[in-house]
Amino acid sequence: MPQTTSAPLMAVTGSTLVIAPATHRRAARAPGPYGRLFAIPGTRAFTAGNLIARLPTGMFGISAVMMIAGQRGSYALAGAVTATGLAATALAGPRTARLVDRYGQARIAVPATLIAVLGSLSLVLCVRMHAPAWTLFASYAATATSPNIGGMSRARWTHLLRDSPAAHHTAMSFEQAADELCFMLGPVVAAFLCSAVFPEAGTLTAAALLLTGMLLFTSRRATEPPVSAPRHGSSPLRAVAPFLALFLPLGLLFGSLEVTSIAQLDSHGLGAATGAVLALQAAGSCAAGLLYGSLRPRSLRTCLITLSVAMALPWAAASTGSLALLALALLLAGMATAPTMVTAMSRIHAVTPEGRLNEGMTLAVTAIFAGISLGSATAGTLIDALGPTTPYALPAAAAVLALAVGAAGTRPSRKLPQ
C-alpha cells in the first residue's frame, strides 16, 4: 500500500511539467503579537496619523533654536524662548488633556492643534521680520496647546484592548518604541532642513506634519474612546502623584545623560558624531521596546534595578576614555529605558480614574519634561565645574533615586502585572 507523502507530485505530460498540489500543506504561520495588534480594524489608520503627528515632537525645539540663533545670533535668546515654551507646555498640557477627556479627542485636539500651528507660523514671521524679542516668547508659548498625541493614542489602545492585558502590554511597548523613534529621527530631520534648506524649514515642516497627522488621527472616529462625564473627586492627580515622583528622576536621567554625552563627544573633537551616538542610544531603546512587547511584562522594581545597573555603564566607559566603549554603553543604557517606561506608564493607566486617562498621561509627561529641564541644567553646571566625565554620575544617581522612589512610593495595582 503506497504511503501518503506531503511532497508535491510531479509528472511529465508531453513537454509540460505538471506539479500536483501537496497532499498536506503546512499550516499558515500564526501572526505574532504585533500582527494581531494591527489586525484590529482601524488601528493602522490611527497609528499612521499618530506617527506623522508625533514626529514634530522631536523637531520643534531644535528647529526653533537653529532658526532663532541663526537669524538673531543669540543662543541665549533661543534657549530662553524654548525654555519658556516648555514651561507653558507644563501649564497648558494637563488642561488641554482634561478637555480632551471631557469632550472627546476630535472636538478638542483639532482646534488646539490649529492654535499651536498658528503659534509656529507666528514665530517664523516674527523671526523673519525682526520683531521685538517678546513676540518670540509669546508665539512659542502658543504652541503649548498642542495635544499629547502619544497619550491620545495610548488611550485608544486602552479602550480597544480593555479586556486583553497581554495585547495592551504589546501596544504600550509599541507606543514607547514610537516615542523613541520620533525623538531619534525628529532632531536629525529638523537639523537637516534648517541647515540644508533654509532656517525656517524645520519649524514649517513640523507644523505641517503636526496638523496633517492630527487630522488623520482624529478622523478615525471608530477607535476614539467614548466620552464619560467626570465623576466628583475623580481628578487623577492624587492617584498618579506617587508616579509623578518617579517620572521626575527618570526625566532628570534623560536630560543629564544627553547633555553629558554631548559634552563628552565634544571634548574629543567629535561634535559632528553627536547625533549618531545619541541616535544609537535611542535605537537601542526603540529595539528593546519592540522586543519587550513580545515578552511577558516584568515588575517595575525589576525594570528599575536593570536601569540602575545600565546607567552606571556610561560612567564607567567614559572613565576609560574609549569612545567605542562609550557608544556601546549608551546603546545598552538605551535598551534599559524602554521596558522601564512601558511598565511605569502601564501603572499610570492602572491607577488613573476612568475617563481621565489623557490627563493622567499628560501629567506623567509633564513630570518627565520637568526632570529633563532640571537634569540638563544640573549637568551643564557640573560639566563646567568638573569636566565632561564625572557628570555621568548624575544619570546613574537619578536611576538609583528612581529605584528608591519606585520601591517606597508606589503600590502594586490589581489591573496590571507588577
Residue-range domains of the chain with CATH:
42-228 (1.20.1250.20), 238-418 (1.20.1250.20)
Paired residues of 371 in beta bridges: none
**Range 350-372 burial, b when 16+ CB lie within 10 A, else e:** bbbbebbbbbbbbbbbbbbbbbb
pLDDT at 118: 95
pTM of the model: 0.73
Residue 9 clears pLDDT 60, i.e. is over it: no
Residue 417 clears pLDDT 60, i.e. is over it: no
pLDDT category of residue 79 using cuts at 50, 70 and 90: confident
Residue 26 clears pLDDT 50, i.e. is over it: no
pLDDT at 412: 44
Residue 416 clears pLDDT 60, i.e. is over it: no
In terms of average pLDDT, the best of 91-105, 173-187, 252-266, 365-379 is: 91-105
Mean pLDDT, residues 65-93 taken together: 80
pLDDT at 306: 93
Cα-Cα-Cα-Cα dihedral sign, residues 185, 186, 190, 193: positive
Residue 270 clears pLDDT 60, i.e. is over it: yes
pLDDT digits (tens, 9 = 90+) for 368-396: 888 887 887 788 788 888 888 888 999 99
pLDDT category of residue 186 using cuts at 50, 70 and 90: confident
Burial of 104 (0-12, 13-18, 19+ CB in 10 A): middle
Residue 354 clears pLDDT 80, i.e. is over it: no
pLDDT at 271: 58
pLDDT at 210: 94
Q: What is the mean pLDDT of the chain?
A: 81
pLDDT digits (tens, 9 = 90+) for 287-346: 888 888 777 777 888 889 999 999 999 999 988 888 889 889 988 998 888 888 888 888
**φ, ψ (nearest 5 deg) of residue 16:** -110, 130
Residue 261: what residue type?
S
pLDDT digits (tens, 9 = 90+) for 232-255: 555 677 778 878 888 899 988 988
Mean pLDDT, residues 84-112 taken together: 87
Cβ–Cβ under 8 Å, residues 225 and 105: yes
The CA–CA distances, whole Å, from 221 to 37, 45, 156, 158, 360 equal: 18, 11, 10, 15, 22
pLDDT at 112: 94
